[in-house]
Amino acid sequence: MTTKQDQDGSGANSDLDLTSGEVVEEELVEGAPVRRKGIYLLPNALTTASLFSGFYAIVSASNGMFDNAAIAIFVSMILDGLDGRVARMTNTQSKFGEEYDSLADMVAFGVAPGMVAFFWSLNNLDQFGWAITFIYVAGAALRLARFNTQIGSVDKKYFVGLPSPSAAAAVAGLVWFFHGFEPSAWLTLLTIIVVGGTGVLMVSNILYRSFKDLDLRGRVPFATILVVVLAFVVIAVDPGTVLFLIFLAYALSGPVRALVRKMRSGSTVDTGA
């Protein structure tokens, strides 16, 4: 006996076999629907590792180990990038994997960065501190929900709103870079701006480059690999600083590009008049 649990827009069903507790999914094989029992191990194991890293970040922050917490969030980013690619390379995509990945992302890039920033600095602000934290967490939840509903309906070259992994990286980079500094008013203000600002940017309609149009399989000049090596060296020298600046710049790139586009369109209208 099975019970229907989910159905995506393409008509693919995800059922639960009540006799065994197994997930049963319907897939199209050469145009014919085939029901398969169970889940794919490798991509879901990577998603579980990403989820664990996010959970570890929260535990580390609650114990005052803020550098470990920040690093754990970056580890989650790497694992999150791997699970989808591995699933596509091994042809092990599934509806279960998509839903599980989204829930893991909510913990790793929504709850974890917010709680790390809260334990590190914002908890000294009482109600205002947790309000700023909630803005970030709610922004991540809304961003992920909107992303799931827009799959296949938007230009792959752009993200609508700041991607949650990039927002998490900006917050984690901030904590990693400044975790050794003495608490101060300016640092608290910077934390409020970064945490609250990335939370708002996630639910904005500002476009961000996705870089999915980059051809990583094509041939490039030999000097390109030297640039890659140099980038790794720079990151290794001071990873907290470099990663914070990179993702802060990416978070700001969307509003800057939108402002430039608006100024250009305005000048075009004025010229035409």
The predicted-structure confidence for 139-192, as pLDDT tens digits, reads as follows 999 999 998 887 766 667 888 999 999 999 999 999 999 998 888 999 999 999
Ramachandran assignment for 204, one of left (phi > 0), alpha (psi -120 to 50 degrees), beta (any other): beta
**Confidence tier at 47 by pLDDT (50, 70, 90):** very high
Ramachandran assignment for 152, one of left (phi > 0), alpha (psi -120 to 50 degrees), beta (any other): left
Tokens of 225: 């690999």
3-class secondary-structure state, position 267:
helix
pLDDT tens figures, 196-205: 999 999 999 9
- Cβ neighbours of residue 21 closer than 8 Å, sequence gap 6 or more: none
Q: Which helix (H) or strand (E) holds 34?
A: strand 32-37
**Confidence tier at 26 by pLDDT (50, 70, 90):** low
Helix 112-120 vs helix 41-62: crossing angle, to nearest 10: 10
pTM of the predicted protein model: 0.83
Cα within 13 Å of Cα(187), Cβ side: 16
User: Cβ distance 251 to 173 under 8 Å?
Assistant: no
pLDDT tens figures, 59-72: 999 999 999 999 99
pLDDT tens figures, 246-259: 999 999 999 999 99
3-class secondary-structure state, position 154:
coil
3-class secondary-structure state, position 182:
coil
pLDDT, greater one: 26 or 77? 77
* Domains (range + CATH), the chain: 2-37 (no CATH), 41-261 (1.20.120.1760)
